[in-house]
A and B are shown apart, each in its own frame.
Chain A
């Protein structure tokens, strides 16, 4: 069984500040991990993915995430927030078998203050 926990349902940062969105996972097998972003009234867009290659993964829009097996974490970061980053962010885990859908976290809403 897999699960994902996103700490903090709401995160607020100032424009230009560091963005840190937390994700911890539980998986009985080596996981594949994803971060998705959802803008209002839209579907989910893939930001980045970890598929057991490099532990530091770079994604679109300047985001990156680091896979830390010892901490079972896959936190999302961006050095400098932009107003356009305001959205809902979802962490998700796959068990790698390809049989089932992803397991999603409950999401973190990012607000960027001017």
Chain B
């Protein structure tokens, strides 16, 4: 079985632009979470989606939004990019049987210039 996949791997944007990051969970998993990891810090929770519904939102501005599709894949959108949005964006796949156990994808490295 394939693990969690994320695309793109790397991305370079300029301030003010918009970006869309994509994630496909492990087959059979219906829930995904998004995290932001700034260099030297632990990951910070952004969103969680289950069955296309938002179940949780972290302390991030409204420039951050996400959605989940019928096939359980997910997109994270960030508008009006700031330099401080430069980070590794991680998607975690969550099993319905063990909702507290999260498996991370390889991440998308976003650089904002």
Say whether A and B bind each other: no
Which residues of A approach B to under 8 Å, CB–CB? none
